A and B are shown apart, each in its own frame.
Chain A
Amino acid sequence: EIQLQESGPGLVKPSQSLSLTCSVTGYTITSGYDWSWIRKFPGNKMEWMGYISYSGSTNYNPSLKSRISITRDTSKNQFFLQLNSVTTEDTATYYCASGRSGFAYWGQGTLVTVSS
């Protein structure tokens, strides 16, 4: 069974970087699928942020411009989100997710609050 779990700080100061880890068990991230980050804002809007593919290529939402980076550590079967220069607008619940067609597998989500 594929399982994903997010981890990282729940509070980040404005202008700093948000860094999250998604740990994957039950499947090797280099075997297949795209591995995405998705966030849900207060008020329920959902946004796909980007993914890293099983081959290591990345694809980002242009709305995040040059602030986002998704990387991975294949030895630990983890992938990571870094979002730079955060503002209060980046306060959201962050999910990692994956699947063949549509997101069949989701982490439990982690709330990140941007506040001084």
Chain B
Amino acid sequence: DVVMTQTPVSLPVSLGGQASISCRSSQSLVHSNGNTYLHWYLQKPGQSPQLLIYRVSNRFSGVPDRFSGSGSGTDFTLKISRVEPEDLGDYYCLQSTHFPWTFGGGTKLELK
């Protein structure tokens, strides 16, 4: 299985500040079709996960441009600029290039 190593586990931030979350995979996530299936989710307390970024850098509908994704191969980053209270929660990366699809261990974004 592809192991997704997500860091940090906990990320204290100040409102208005910037946050960066890393996700590294144990093998390249470039599919044979040339696409890279690495996605980012936010799960707020008491809610289901919500898709933020799909295929590395594409913001899902309605996601503010404060969220950006980047990376390639095995190394990916989610950046959140101008953190707002509604951004707090658990962030996960997911790879759906290789079966079985696997999640990172999660990062809790919390107030400093």
On A, residues with C-beta under 8 Å from B are 44-48, 59-63, 95, 97, 99, 101-104, 106-109
Contact = CB atoms under 8 A, between A and B. Distances in A.
Contacts of B54: 101-102, 104
A59 B92 CA distance: 22
Interface residues of B, number: 24
6 contacts: A101-B37, A101-B58, A102-B37, A102-B39, A103-B39, A103-B51
B103 A101 contact: no
B92 A46 contact: yes
Nearest to A4: B48
Given A45-B105, A48-B100, A102 B48 contact: no
A61 B39 contact: no
Interface of B: 1, 37, 39, 41, 48-51, 53-55, 58, 60, 90, 92, 94, 96, 99-103, 105-106
Contacts of A63: 1, 100
Given A61-B101, A102-B94, A104-B54, 5 more contacts: A45-B106, A48-B100, A48-B102, A48-B103, A63-B100
B55 A106 contact: no
B108 to A, nearest CB: 8
